[in-house]
Amino acid sequence: MHGTLFALTVLIPVAAATAGVAAEGADPPHVSTQFGTKRLDFVVAGQKAFLLLPTQPAADGSKPWVWYAPTFIGSLPDPSHEWMFKQFLAKGFAIGGVDVGESFGNAKGRAAYTEYHQLVVKTHGLSPKACLLPQSRGGLMLYNWAAEHPDCVQCIGGIYTVCDMASWPGLKGACGAYGMTEAELKAHLAEHNPIDRLAPLAAAKVPILHVHGDVDTMVPLERNSGELIRRYRALGGPGELLIIPGKGHQVCNEFFQCRRLADFFLSLGAMEPTGR
C-alpha cells in the first residue's frame, strides 16, 4: 500500500491558547509546518492526530475541512498530497486525521474517529459535516464511520479506495483487528464492510466520487470502487466513478493532481447540497 514517502516535521510545543486543539486536561498540541501551513499534532482517544490550518479563510466565512485517511503519523499524509492539499488550504479548508493504526475500520477505530470529530468541531468551529478523503485502506476506516454518522458527512471523494474487506486485506488479514476468527468475521461481514453499509449515506444523499485505475491488482477496481458506486446508485445515492486507464495502485499525477477530484471537494465543501 502507498506510504513510502513521508514529510519530516519538527514539532515545537506552543501554549494551548495559541494552538487551539486540546482535550480538557490534555497536553497542549505541538505545532510544526507542513504544506506551507501550520500543523497541529495532539492526542485524542489515546491516538495521535493532526490538523492543518487553512492558509486563507474561506471567502464565505465557512470553515470546511477534509478528513484524510489513512493517517499514519510520520508517514501519511506525505509529499504526494501537496498539490491537492494546497488547493484546499488556499480556499479555507482545514485538513485533518487521526492515526488508528491498522484498524481496518473496527469499532475501536470508529470510536476514536467520533472523538476526533467532536474535538475539532468544538475547538476550531469546523463544519460539523466533514469532507471525507479515503485513500486506499482508508476506505475501511472512513466509510465504516460515515455509515454510522451520515449527518456528519458533506461528501466523500476517494483515491483507489478499499470498499470490500474481503477483497483487501482479506478476512484472514482483517479478523484479528476485529477480535474475531476468520469465520466469525465472515458471518458478521455485512456489519463492517463499506459496500454493505451504504444505505444511510444514500438516504442522506451524500455525494460520492471515486477515482480508480483499471489495472489495480492490489485493490481491484470492480470489487471495490466499481461495486460501491454501482450499489450506491441502486440505492438512489449520487455516486460517480472516474476510471483512470492504464493505472494501478500507484503514486502518479492522475490520482494526486486530479483536477476533477479537487474541484469535487472545493465545490461541495462549503455548501449544503440540494435535498440534504
Grid cell for residue 199: 444505505
Q: Where are the domains of the chain?
A: 12-268
**Given its phi and psi angles, is residue 155 left (phi above 0), alpha (psi -120 to 50 degrees) or beta?**
beta
- Give the DSSP H/E element, type plus range, for residue 50: strand 47-52
Q: Which residues of the chain have pLDDT under 70?
A: 1-26, 270-276
What pLDDT shows up at residue 27? 80
Angstrom distance (rounded) from CA 206 to CA 232: 10
Q: Per CATH, which fold does 12-268 belong to?
A: Rossmann fold (3.40.50)
How many other C-beta atoms lie within 10 A of the C-beta of residue 105?
A: 28
Place of cell 514539532: 11
What pLDDT shows up at residue 269? 80
What sign results for the dihedral spanned by CA atoms 126, 149, 235, 209?
A: positive
- Reply yes or no: is the peptide bond before residue 77 cis, omega within 30 of 0: yes
Supply the pTM of this predicted model: 0.90
Query: C-alpha angle 79/256/227, rounded to 5°?
Result: 130
What pLDDT shows up at residue 184? 98
Angstrom distance (rounded) from CA 22 to CA 37: 19
